[in-house]
Amino acid sequence: MSGKGLPHFAVGRIVKGFGRGSKELGIPTANYSPDVVENLPKNVDTGVYFGWASIDRGDVHKMVMSIGWNPFYQNSQKSMETHIMHKFPGDLYGAELRVVIVGFLRPEVNFDSLEDLIKGINGDIENAEKLLENADLAAYRTHKFFTEPIDPAQLTS
């Protein structure tokens, strides 16, 4: 089961991803650099996760995150792509992204079409929305991790 190693706290700068989230899928994502991905615990498997996210220590919002290779796109590099359930004006490149991953939704799967992929992601968002209403998981929204200063050396980009 992929829920081992959770909760997992991650922090880093938002970097340019593959450019598909907003443009092709209509579901914008904030991407971590490869070194943040490499620091994932070994027992956090590829798949779709959910939790909380904050940009530049601002408001904390619900999020879903894909961790893996994105088989639909046949990526050669493992990624952590975070969809924050909030609309932000403009792009967020260079901003500090803090996330706490609190749960696992499903394993990474391939989809037959772009439409199926979009339906799958929207289903993940709906499921995360409901699951994050659980009081134990909602408590992470106010975790000190989202407000306390972090050593700049931890903010890799």
Catalytic amino acids? 81
Whether residue 44 contacts residue 6, with contact meaning beta carbons closer than 8 Å, is answered with yes
**Assigned token pair, 151:** 């050593």
Q: Are the CB atoms for 69 and 75 separated by under 8 Å? A: yes
Calculate the CA 13 to chain-centre distance. 13
CA-closest candidate to residue 14, choices 131, 127, 111, 155: 155
Write out the H or E segment, with its range, that includes residue 146.
none
Write the CA distances from 14 to 60, 104, 110, 118, integer angstroms. Answer: 16, 22, 25, 23
